[in-house]
Structure 1
Amino acid sequence: MRLIQITDAHLHADKRARSRSGVPWRQFERVLAQVMRERPDVVLLSGDVSQDETLASYQHACRALEGLACPWFWIPGNHDQPELMVECHPLIDEVDLGSWRLLLLDTRVAQMPHGELGTERLAALSEALEQSDRPVVIGLHHPPVEVGAAWMDAIGLKDRDAFWQTLTRYPQVKIVLFGHAHQAFAHRRSLGEHSVEVYGCPAMADQFMPGAKAFAIDEASRPGYRIVELRGDEWQTWVERVNL
């Protein structure tokens, strides 16, 4: 099972619109074309699909993603409008990956850059994890760990401690994938007798400077995506970059 994560497209209604260091639509097309050549079994777009929060930006994304020869799913980021997203493509909570499960969490807080799950969503996560002991990948937008950039850590998942406390009871959770940070990242979170691998993904749009105290663009880095190969109860993962 080949799962590919893409994230943070930051599209506009105007395909010619520029971001800080490029044209998001052009970068989206380039990344998606390379992803297609990877022959994924499923694709996850982990939030911030839009920058200008317009229906047209989501329509552009959906038309392009419909060219994939596999199912694809998305979750909202802090720049997104879920009610517009569902006009184009559903928002769902779980994807059956055969011997694995993919649980998709909505961490968006309306009109705020940080993320939060809250008691109701954490309770729903516990309920979902009680249903099966199959290995689990969790996808969410906001980083549930500090990534080492002070400004980004301030706008990550606010209730990350409660998130990890919830997962302590569920050793079947093996992998957490996040977006928002616009950079590759890998971390092992120890939860007593078991651990969880936590991975960030390069953005389709601008890349952020790792380790920066204040907001900074990494203009030397390139857009990319993350591949996760699931085999039995084991996995491999790596990041691929895209030339523009």
Structure 2
Amino acid sequence: MMRLIQITDCHLHADPEARSRVGVPLRQLQAVVAHAQRQRPDVVLVTGDVSEDETPASYRHAVETFASMECPWFWLPGNHDHPQFMAEQREILDDIDLGDWRLLVLDTQVNGQPHGELGQAQLQTLAGRLEEDERPTLLAMHHPPLEIGSAWMDAIGLHDREALWQTLAAYRQVRAIVCGHIHQAFASHYSLEDGEIAVYGTPSSSDQFLGGSPEFAIDEASRPGYRIIDLQGQKLTTWVERVDV
């Protein structure tokens, strides 16, 4: 079995004591990482918005925190991130070997914009990569490829999601997509002619957004969290863990 843990939307600052709306993001991330470490992950994936202020120092805080994990870890950029500063601290990989499974990482960032796009070139590259390997595949990206039922968030989701689904229609090995951006637990699926692809969103390690709200709202009753994904043979099992901070 391969255990993957997803952590997302850390929103760190250069100042380690800087506050978010309801807490101190670095302290919250440290608590989430410590909790996740007890789950004995094989791999950790950080799905974007690592930084809030796009400073080199914020990424150094992240690297120092994730370095405490006793396993490999990987990250991808979100709309709040500075990819060059990220890459200077740690390489951004797009293809991760998970044994019987494969993890493909997609970049949905649009410079200076809150919404996401993949673009035709990246979708063509994705198709080529799927042609090369028929192992069960998990995709990771920052922006959600489905509407989540919150009008304000759906407006800043993945704008070319229909093009993504058209691309994936030919590749039955893609089993699930994990995303960040939405700061809440989410589970749904997209139906294709030959089956369906699961879509999972994950609580932030920082502030939580109120699910179903038509306008931006913080869910002050929810705690930070992360997602566990167990991969065994052809089977994927996943759930969310919450963390007291």
Q: TM-score, normalised by structure 1?
A: 0.99
Q: Point out 4+ residue stretches in structure 1 off by more than 2 angstroms.
A: none
Q: d(CA) in 2 for partners of 1:18 and 1:64? A: 17
User: Are 1:127 and 2:144 matched, yes or no?
Assistant: no
Cα distance in 2 for residues equivalent to 1:189 and 1:142: 15
The reply on whether 1:228 has 2:229 as its aligned counterpart is yes
Instruction: Give the equivalent residue in structure 1 for 2:213.
Output: 212
Aligned residue pairs, count: 244
- 1:241 is matched with 242
Residue 26 of structure 2 corresponds to which residue in structure 1?
Answer: 25
Q: Does 1:69 align with 2:70?
A: yes
SS at match of 2:135: coil
2:11 maps to a residue whose letter is: H
Q: Which amino acid aligns with 1:133?
A: E
In structure 2, the partner of 1:54 is 55
Q: Secondary structure at the match of 2:183?
A: coil
**Per-residue displacement from partner, 1:177-226 (whole Å, max 9, x unpaired)?**
00000000000211111110100000000000000100000000000000
- Residue 66 of structure 1 and its aligned partner are, at CA, apart by 1.1
The amino acid across from 1:6 in the alignment is: I
AA paired with 1:164? W
1:24-173 paired onto structure 2 within 5 Å: 24-173=25-174
1:141 aligned partner, one-letter code: H
Give 1:5's aligned residue: 6
Could you tell me how far apart the structure 2 residues matched to 1:19 and 1:65 are? 20
User: In structure 2, what is the Cα distance between the partners aligned to 1:52 and 1:177?
Assistant: 24
Find the residue that maps to 1:120 and give its secondary structure. Answer: helix
One-letter identity of the residue aligned with 1:109: V
Amino acid at match of 2:155: A
Measured after TM superposition, the shift of residue 63 of structure 1 is 1.1
Q: Which moved more, 1:60-69 or 1:217-226?
A: 60-69
C-alpha distance in 1 between matches for 2:244 and 2:70 = 23
Equivalence for 1:188: 189
1:197 paired to 2:198: yes
Distance in 2 of aligned mates of 1:216 and 1:207: 9
Equivalent in the alignment of 1:14 = 15
TM-score by length of 2: 0.99
Tell me the CA shift for residue 163 of structure 1.
0.5
Amino acid at match of 2:10: A
SS at 1:92 equivalent: coil
State the Cα distance separating 1:234 from its structure 2 match: 0.5
What SS does structure 1 have at the residue aligned with 2:11?
coil
What's the RMSD between the two structures over aligned residues?
0.5
Amino acid aligned to 2:195: H
CA apart distance, 1:8 = 0.1
Take 2:71 and 2:149, find their aligned partners in 1: how far apart are those partners? Answer: 35
Structure 1 distance, partners of 2:194, 2:241, is 32
* TM-superposition CA deviations, 1:116-147 (whole Å, max 9, x none): 00011101110110001100000000000000
Consecutive unaligned residues in structure 2, runs of 5 or more = none
Give identity over the alignment, percent: 58
| 1:211 partner SS | coil
d(CA) in 2 for partners of 1:127, 1:40? 30
C-alpha distance in 2 between matches for 1:193 and 1:120:
25
